[in-house]
Amino acid sequence: MKLRLWTVGALTAAIVVGSSVTVTARKNSRSVRVVEAAIARIENMDFQGFERLLASDASFDNLFALPNTSGTFEGRDAVIANIREISESFEQMEFVDERVYEVRGGKTVFVEARGNFTLKGTGKPYQNTYVFAFEINNGKITAIREYNNPLTIIQTFNIPFSQSVGSNTK
């Protein structure tokens, strides 16, 4: 049920931004293949492979980043460094129940999925719900926007709620 709510929100945002949106889920489209390859590279912690899919000026925005953390990364090197840092917390990363939506003629690909991750050292599960918006240009990822449930992060990593409330400093 939660995935459907995320989908409506993400697709509503796409409709508000663009005057005309056609949603497809073509597995054979170039943009969808690029995004699916990116997700597979992240799951396998293949940072060099992931880097090859990014444009040099790629950006990554975690729109629900916790306060006092950076949620915005500009440039391929910064995006890769962020993904590496996130990955260091996990011994296993897998996205499941993926739904892929292509909009704007393949220029934007939305992915909704559940994360099925395992924390390093403890084996504790980390299961969050995600929506990613990938912007694609000439077969390269130019922007990634991540939407997740920050309460899951707070609970999994035992962050006191009082430290998680406030405005994000970007």
Give residue-wise pLDDT tens across range 10-39: 443 444 444 445 555 556 799 999 999 999
| Residue 16 confidence (pLDDT) | 40
**pLDDT above 70 coverage of the chain, percent:** 77
CATH code at 2-12+22-164: 3.10.450.50
CA distances from 108 to 18, 31, 67, 145 (A): 11, 8, 28, 11
| Residue 112 confidence (pLDDT) | 97
Instruction: List the single range of 4-13, 102-111, 120-129, 143-152 with lowest mean pLDDT.
Output: 4-13
- Return left, alpha or beta for 75; rule: phi > 0 is left, psi -120 to 50 is alpha, else beta: left
In this prediction, residue 164 has a pLDDT band, given cuts at 50, 70 and 90, of low
| Residue 145 confidence (pLDDT) | 97
Domain spans in the chain, listed from the N-terminal domain onward: 2-12+22-164
Instruction: For residue 9, report the phi and psi dihedrals to the nearest 5 degrees.
Output: -65, -45
| Residue 28 confidence (pLDDT) | 74
Between 116 and 167, the more confident residue is: 116
Average pLDDT, rounded, for the chain:
84
Distance CA 104, CA 117 (A): 31
| Residue 90 confidence (pLDDT) | 95
Pairing of strands 54-62, 140-148: parallel
* Sequence-distant (≥ 6) Cβ neighbours of residue 158 within 8 angstroms: none
pLDDT digits (tens, 9 = 90+) for 76-101: 999 999 999 999 999 999 999 999 99
